[in-house]
Structures are given as C-alpha cells and as structure tokens.
Amino acid sequence: MNVPLFLPIAPRPLEDELLSSWQERVACRYGRAVLELERWLEPRATYAPAIGFEQRDFRPPTAVVELWAQACRLPASSLAGMALSRRARPLAWYVADRSHAGVCPACLDQDTADDGDHYVRRAWSHVEAMVCSRHRQRLRDFCGRCFGSAGFRFHELAGKARLVCMTCLTVVSSCREADRAEPQKTRFLTTLADIVKAVVAGDAGEGPSPEEIMRAAKLLWTPSQADDKPFIAWSGLGLPKGGHGMPAQRTAPLATAALTWRITTLIAIAQLLDLAGARRRFGPPPPFVFRAFAAEPENASQPTLGSAVRQSKETGKPATRLELRSNAEYRSLAEAILASPDWKRAERAGGATRGRVLGRLMIQALDRAPRGQAAGLDRAVP
C-alpha cells in the first residue's frame, strides 16, 4: 500500500496564473524541477510524464492533477479548473514554448513589492501578447543583464520564488533595462493585440475571422521562391536579425515563433489585412502577396499559391519563374526610386524607417511589368 506524500510548503495558486507556473513555484522551494518532484511524489507512476505546454497547461493529465492536489492538500477540481482547455481559446492561439513567451518585468517588480512570489500570468501565453496591458511596456523574453534568450526559471531567494535568467541566474527586473520601444509603436502593438484578442474571443464584429488571421500567418511563412524564402521577407518590414527564434513550424508560426518574430508576423498580418492602421504606418504589402492570399483556399491546410509558386513536375519542389530585366532598366528603376518624394522624405528618417521605405519602393518598382510586357510583347514562360 502506497502512503501518500505531502509537501509541507506549498503556496496557493493565484487567480490568473498558469498551472505550470504554480507547480514550478512549489518545486523551487525544494530545489527541484517539476518532473523531479513528481517522480519523488509518485515513484511507481505508470503514466508518462507530462511534458510541454499542452500537457502541463492546456490539457494536463488527470493523474498529474490529482497527484499535485493530494500533495498540496488542494481540491483536485480547483487545479483542474486552471487548465486552459476549460477556456474558450483554442490551443493554436497559445505560445507553445514557455521560453518564447515574454514576461513583464514591471509586473514582477510589483510582485516583489507586494512581498509575494513572482508568477507567470496566463495572458502572457497568448500569441498576441506583445505589450503588458497594465504597464504599457513591451514584454521581454531575454535577460536584461546578459541578453541571453534561453528563457527564465523559478529560483527561491529569501523564501520567495523569483524568475531568474536560465544563463546567468539574474532576477528578472525592470530596473535592469529601460523599455526602449518607441511610444507610438507600443501604442500600435497594444491596439493590434486588442484587435486580435477580440477576434479570438468572437467580439470583433465586422473584423476578420480567426481563420483569416491564421491563414494570413501561414501564407507569410510559405516559401515564395525555390530558395525557401517566405513571403514575410517581402513585406518591407524590418525583420529581426538572424534566424534565432523563427517559427519551429511554418504551419503554426504564431504558436511556435519567439517573441520578436511573433511581433513581426503579427505586424505583417495587420499589413495584409489592414488592421490597426498598419498600411498607413508601414505601407501596403506587395501586390503579389495580395494575389497569393486571395488565391489560397480558406479551408486549405497548406496554402495554394497559384502563380506565385509553381511546382516542378519532376521533383514536386517549388520552381522560380525569373523575369530578368536589362541593366539599363534596373538603373532606370533605381534612379526613379531615388528621385521619388517618398525616398526624399525617408532620407531624413532613422535607419530602420529608411530601410523599410526603401524596401517597399523596391518591391513596388519590381512588381511593375517589365518594359517588354508593358509594350505588349510576348515573353517566354519557363
């Protein structure tokens, strides 16, 4: 007969807390990871360990919930009620990897000021969570001291659970680094997040449907050329440097991208669907992206891109149709860009704005038909 084990120190769950956050707060009191503590509580467990966001937060196994409820002397129903599957939001609208979800250092500082534990809010796991709705600050997924992006974990300090950097063990705090985000961009991201949240909740009225937003996200990460370059690369937006944090699954980019790439993807979606005034701020996307989005069936699991991506009969891989122009025509396009009023205004702006405007002007210029086609001449299509 197994004698049930109890944990003498077990803080209570908080109202807006993730289940995994509470479990980690308990486990850090004993200097153990959650799975280590579970193996100690139930060494003869016949069920597989719960791993990942879906099993820890969205749909935790009943046996795991009952184990924690018994050890911490809590009703199993109250812990089961923390499962995100009990809420209306589908799994696809949550960030699948906790290390890719941002945190608000100001909220954590308030936890410290209130003499309580740090804890992870449920809302931070939403795919549209970019700005703290309370402090109007950008969420952060990197350490303010070492700038590492390995994520955060709980560590007990002076009897309290604190989120610390996985790399250098520095406590997450807004004192480490000021929020350098532009106020206007922060307001834009807040507005965009509110729109997406309303769409997911079904309160958007005449706005886009959740399926349209997901369809746009998948299209933006669909290859537009044979070299696997996705459509988002042609959006004219300033993309994050390097490939770190890009979506682990291009069919689920919002759920599997790190914070910076998720923000970029949401802005590109807003640009494509004209949400939150994105086209006024960033300009419209290239016409060929519009055409690809219009050609994609609404119920397709994989986007059908029409003429934007052709399939090779021999290999089944995308084949690129190149329409090269003469050197003289490229020079003429460049001179027209440099002489345009948009470029002259952008020359006085910052580097990121200047690069964004230049990218948009280049895309618009190249999207126009070559001189031969404009004159009505036939061109061979490979």
Mean pLDDT of the chain: 85
Mean pLDDT over 146-155 rounds to 92
Tens digits of per-residue pLDDT, 263-306?
Answer: 999 999 999 999 999 999 988 988 888 888 988 766 554 433 33
pTM of the model: 0.78
Q: Could you tell me which residue, 304 or 368, shows the higher pLDDT?
A: 368
**Cα–Cα distance for residue pair 363/344, rounded to 1 Å:** 17
Q: How confident is the model at residue 310 (pLDDT cuts 50, 70, 90)?
A: very low
In this predicted structure, what is the pLDDT of residue 2? 64
Tens digits of per-residue pLDDT, 162-172?
Answer: 999 999 999 99
Lowest mean pLDDT segment, chosen from 14-18, 117-121, 378-382: 378-382
Q: Could you tell me which residue, 76 or 355, shows the higher pLDDT?
A: 76
Could you tell me the two tokens for 44?
């003869």
Element (H, E) at 164: strand 160-165
Q: Could you tell me which residue, 140 or 310, shows the higher pLDDT?
A: 140
Q: What is the dihedral of CA 185, 190, 196, 201, to 10 degrees?
A: 180
**Is the pLDDT assigned to residue 114 strictly greater than 60?**
yes
**Is the pLDDT assigned to residue 376 strictly greater than 60?**
no
Mean pLDDT over 309-328 rounds to 50
In this predicted structure, what is the pLDDT of residue 259? 96
Q: Could you tell me which residue, 337 or 154, shows the higher pLDDT?
A: 154
Tens digits of per-residue pLDDT, 44-103?
Answer: 777 778 889 999 999 999 999 999 999 999 999 999 999 999 999 999 999 999 989 999
In this predicted structure, what is the pLDDT of residue 369? 60
In this predicted structure, what is the pLDDT of residue 19? 98
CB 78 within 8 A of CB 239: no
Q: How confident is the model at residue 138 (pLDDT cuts 50, 70, 90)?
A: very high
Helices (H), 142-286: 183-201, 210-220, 253-256, 259-273, 278-282
In this predicted structure, what is the pLDDT of residue 244? 84
Contacts by 226-231 with C-beta closer than 8 Å and gap 24+? Answer: 226/317, 226/318, 226/319, 226/320, 227/320, 231/289, 231/292, 231/308
Domain positions in the chain? 19-87, 206-319, 329-374
**Is the pLDDT assigned to residue 343 strictly greater than 90?**
no
**Is the pLDDT assigned to residue 177 strictly greater than 80?**
no
Question: Running DSSP on this structure, what letter comes out for residue 56?
Answer: I
Residue 225, judged by CB atoms within 10 A of its CB (0-12, 13-18, 19+), counts as middle
In this predicted structure, what is the pLDDT of residue 309? 35
In this predicted structure, what is the pLDDT of residue 20? 97
Provide the percentage of residues in the chain whose pLDDT is more than 90. 57
Provide the percentage of residues in the chain whose pLDDT is more than 70. 84
In this predicted structure, what is the pLDDT of residue 47? 76
**Cα–Cα distance for residue pair 150/160, rounded to 1 Å:** 22
Tens digits of per-residue pLDDT, 181-199?
Answer: 678 899 999 999 999 999 9
**Is the pLDDT assigned to residue 178 strictly greater than 80?**
no
Number of other residues whose CB lies within 10 A of the CB of residue 137: 17
Tens digits of per-residue pLDDT, 210-249?
Answer: 999 999 999 999 988 646 789 998 888 888 887 788 999 9
What are phi and psi for residue 223, nearest 5 degrees? -60, 135
